[in-house]
């Protein structure tokens, strides 16, 4: 069977090259994950690309998961010796803590510079993450003004410039786009559901069916039942899309799939995580 989600060729290598170019220039890396799918929106090679540079871990779209799940992730990352910063870059929540963490990394860097007889300078940082996770929105919030294009469409970010976000922090105004991980279709489907996928080709009906299956698996079936008047427990995700198409869209399964995906992506189903911290 061919992979369900495919990326347009040529894009991955170029994205990796550009990302490495950006990482070379900075002291600190701000890695943005999607709080609904912190595992699927992390690329396993990030540690290798960053090397020994400090990384600040940001779970954006924190408004799209319940508080209890946020706490569960907090505890899970803490057990792994990591500190997640939860942000809502759209509304500007949690931004100050991110800036402070970058600033603290800068203090550490300047201590080392002074030890080597070098003059202190502002810490240089870059925001990286998968397409559409909210990198530009976060940069705008860190800047405190609207300077970087932010759009609902994936893959709009381009150019490269330094911007001063405080006395002690300089930021690359173009975020680093992390290339897709190609070997994990389960993660790819989650990225497609959340629209964090960039230049990929995928089948909306397949992705919407996977969303229904995931919602049932995570015991969110009541949301589907009350929103669409159809019980997902008695059928597969694929059957659900067809049932929805028959009940509302004259059998048009593509419209039903797009409606369901849009409702989820816009948060109209409520704050729903698609991943929970692993229990082991």
Ligand X SMILES: Nc1nc2c(ncn2[C@@H]2O[C@H](COP(=O)(O)OP(=O)(O)OP(=O)(O)O)[C@@H](O)[C@H]2O)c(=O)[nH]1
Here the tokens at position 208 are 């919407």
* Nearest CA among 73, 42, 32, 67 for reference residue 276: 73
Stretch that binds ligand X, among 11-19, 61-69, 72-80, 178-186 (CB under 6 A): 61-69
Q: Identify residues 41-60 at the interface with ligand X (CB under 6 A).
A: 60
Q: Which of 36, 42, 43, 135 binds ligand X (CB under 6 A)?
A: 135
22 binds ligand X (CB under 6 A): no
Say if residue 63 carries a ligand binding annotation. yes
38 binds ligand X (CB under 6 A): no
> Alpha-carbon distance 148 to 217, whole Å?
38
Place of tokens 């059928």: 235
Stretch that binds ligand X, among 20-28, 145-153, 184-192, 251-259 (CB under 6 A): 145-153
**Residue 29 beta carbon to ligand X: minimum distance, rounded to whole angstroms:** 15
Say if residue 62 carries a ligand binding annotation. yes
Q: Which of 13, 107, 118, 151 binds ligand X (CB under 6 A)?
A: 151
116 vs 153, which CB is nearer to ligand X?
A: 153
Say if residue 110 carries a ligand binding annotation. no
In sequence order, which residues have a C-beta less than 8 Å from that of residue 45 and are 6 or more positions away?
181
31 binds ligand X (CB under 6 A): no
DSSP assignment string, 193-222: HTT---SEE--HHHHHHHHHHHHHHTT-HH
Say if residue 158 carries a ligand binding annotation. no
DSSP assignment string, 91-129: TTBSHHHHHHHHHHHHHHHHHHHHHTTPPP-PEEEEEEE
> Alpha-carbon distance 110 to 160, whole Å?
24
70 binds ligand X (CB under 6 A): no
Here the tokens at position 224 are 């589907």
Say if residue 248 carries a ligand binding annotation. no
* Residues in binding site: 60-63, 176
* Residues in binding site for GTP: 60-63, 176
Give the footprint of ligand X on this chain (CB under 6 A): 60-61, 63-64, 87-90, 129, 131-137, 150-152, 154-157, 175, 177, 267
């Amino acid at each position: 069977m061919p992979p369900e989600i495919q990326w347009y060729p040529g894009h991955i290598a170029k994205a990796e090259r550009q990302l490495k170019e950006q990482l070379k220039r900075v002291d600190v890396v701000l890695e943005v994950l999607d709080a609904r799918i912190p595992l699927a929106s992390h690329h396993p090679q990030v540690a290798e690309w960053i090397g020994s540079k400090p990384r600040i871990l940001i779970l954006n779209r924190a408004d799209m998961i319940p508080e209890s799940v946020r706490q569960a992730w907090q505890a899970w990352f803490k057990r792994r010796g990591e500190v997640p910063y939860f942000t809502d870059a759209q509304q500007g929540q949690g931004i100050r803590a991110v800036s402070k963490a970058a600033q603290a990394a800068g203090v550490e860097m300047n201590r080392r510079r002074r030890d080597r007889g070098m003059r202190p300078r502002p810490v240089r940082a870059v925001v990286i993450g998968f397409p559409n996770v909210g990198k530009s929105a976060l940069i705008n919030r860190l800047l405190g003004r609207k300077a970087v294009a932010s759009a609902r469409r994936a893959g709009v970010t381009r150019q490269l410039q330094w911007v001063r976000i405080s006395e002690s922090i300089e930021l690359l105004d173009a975020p680093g786009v992390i290339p897709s991980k190609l070997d994990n279709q389960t993660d790819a489907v989650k990225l497609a559901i959340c629209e964090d996928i960039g230049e990929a080709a995928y089948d909306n009906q397949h992705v919407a069916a996977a969303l229904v299956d995931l919602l049932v698996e995570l015991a969110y079936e009541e949301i589907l039942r009350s929103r669409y008047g159809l019980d997902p427990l008695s059928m597969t995700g694929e059957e659900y899309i067809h049932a929805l198409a028959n009940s509302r869209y004259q059998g048009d399964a593509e419209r039903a799939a797009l409606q369901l995906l849009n409702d989820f992506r816009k948060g109209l189903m409520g704050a729903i995580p698609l991943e929970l911290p692993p229990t082991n």
